[in-house]
């Protein structure tokens, strides 16, 4: 099962390595990890999507995260109401014959055309994992040349 973990950490060198090592030792695969400055200067917010992580094991993992000195707060937010998104760039084969079809797909899914070349296009989409999966499914027949994804970011709803 995939678990979504949010952590507030001190913005110091080596923190990401210590946290990812903890996941590795527990046998969890990190599907994505997104890190950026938080609302507090000197601190970063991490959003980690972990695979093969049973609930009980994640509870233990979040407790162990607190033992990493730079971790201020770590929470499994999988079961909470969240707003979660990620961004993807997809470079797809799109010669002059296919370009109109690719643009229609982009319009329907609210993706932006980030770049056009003679034989390819780059589309950009920010959305939930389902929207991103639909975009990839629809573009696969054209030939996907390259994908770059940010990884999921999430924040709990409400207070």
DSSP letters, 34-101, are EEEE-SSTTEEEEEEEEES--HHHHHHHHHHHTTSTTEEEEEE-TTS-EEEEEEEEEEEE--TTTHHH
Domain boundary among 53, 80, 107: 80
Check residue 61 and give its pLDDT. Answer: 86
Please check whether residues 73 and 26 belong to one and the same domain. Answer: yes
CA distances from 114 to 43, 89, 124, 143, 148 (A): 32, 8, 6, 17, 13
Model pLDDT for residues 42-72, shown as the tens digit of each residue: 999 999 999 877 777 888 888 888 888 899 9
pLDDT mean over 2-16: 94
Give the domain CATH number at 98.
Answer: 3.30.70.1150
Residue 110 lies in domain: 83-156
Tell me how far apart the alpha carbons of residues 102 and 97 are, in angstroms, rounded to a whole number: 10
Please check whether residues 55 and 112 belong to one and the same domain. Answer: no
Tell me how far apart the alpha carbons of residues 22 and 30 are, in angstroms, rounded to a whole number: 11
Rg (CA), the chain: 18
Please check whether residues 50 and 102 belong to one and the same domain. Answer: no
Please check whether residues 68 and 99 belong to one and the same domain. Answer: no
- 3-state DSSP call for residue 110? coil
Domain boundary among 61, 80, 99: 80
DSSP β-bridge partners for residue 2: none
Please check whether residues 47 and 98 belong to one and the same domain. Answer: no
Please check whether residues 100 and 54 belong to one and the same domain. Answer: no
Model pLDDT for residues 72-92, shown as the tens digit of each residue: 999 999 999 999 999 999 999
- In this prediction, residue 8 has a pLDDT band, given cuts at 50, 70 and 90, of very high
Please check whether residues 74 and 141 belong to one and the same domain. Answer: no
Domain boundary among 28, 55, 80: 80
For residue 114, the surrounding DSSP H or E stretch is strand 112-116
- 3-state DSSP call for residue 144? strand
Please check whether residues 65 and 97 belong to one and the same domain. Answer: no
Please check whether residues 49 and 100 belong to one and the same domain. Answer: no
Q: Specify the number of domains making up the chain.
A: 2
Give the domain CATH number at 31.
Answer: 3.30.70.260
Please check whether residues 64 and 122 belong to one and the same domain. Answer: no
pLDDT mean over 12-40: 92
């Amino acid at each position: 099962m995939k678990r979504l973990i949010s952590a507030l950490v001190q913005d110091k060198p080596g923190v990401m390595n210590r946290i990812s090592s903890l996941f590795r030792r527990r046998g969890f695969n990190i599907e994505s990890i997104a890190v950026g400055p938080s609302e507090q200067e000197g601190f970063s917010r991490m959003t980690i999507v972990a695979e093969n992580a049973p609930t009980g094991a994640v509870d233990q993992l979040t407790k162990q995260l607190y033992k990493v000195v730079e971790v201020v707060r770590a929470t499994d937010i999988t079961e909470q109401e969240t707003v979660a998104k990620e961004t993807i760039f997809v470079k797809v084969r799109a010669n002059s014959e296919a370009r109109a079809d690719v643009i229609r797909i982009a319009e329907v899914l609210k993706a932006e055309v980030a770049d056009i070349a003679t034989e390819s296009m780059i589309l950009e989409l920010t959305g939930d994992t389902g929207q991103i999966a639909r975009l990839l499914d629809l573009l696969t027949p054209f030939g996907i040349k390259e994908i770059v994804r940010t990884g999921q970011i999430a924040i709990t709803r409400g207070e």
